[in-house]
Amino acid sequence: MSSLKLRKEYIKLGQALKAAGLVGSGVEAKDVIADGLVKVNGETEYRRGRKLYGKDVVSFQGEEINIEN
């Protein structure tokens, strides 16, 4: 599990995937989210604008990102 430290109050899901290096672009993030391949806290998420806060966990292709304050 990797961690992503918040610089602000929250980060959007698409931005988090890019920042963690799990996708190469915003378009790719949009596509994998729309295809239902991303989970937030164990539930499939279809909104790339979903706000992530500290303690949220994002799962994609066997990788997990822990969002930290």
Q: Give Cβ neighbours of residue 13 (< 8 Å, ≥ 6 apart).
A: 29, 33, 38, 40, 45, 47, 48, 49, 50, 51, 52, 58
Asked if residue 1 has pLDDT above 90, the reply is no
What does the mean pLDDT of the chain come to?
96
User: Token pair of 44, please?
Assistant: 């499939």
User: Token pair of 17, please?
Assistant: 């995937």
Range of the domain at 37: 2-68
Predicted pLDDT of residue 32: 98
Could you give the number of structural domains in the chain?
Answer: 1
pTM across the whole model: 0.92
Q: Average pLDDT for residues 6-28, to the nearest whole number?
A: 95
Residue 7: CATH number of its domain: 3.10.290.10
- How many angstroms separate the first and last alpha carbons of the chain? 16
Q: Average pLDDT for residues 41-61, to the nearest whole number?
A: 97
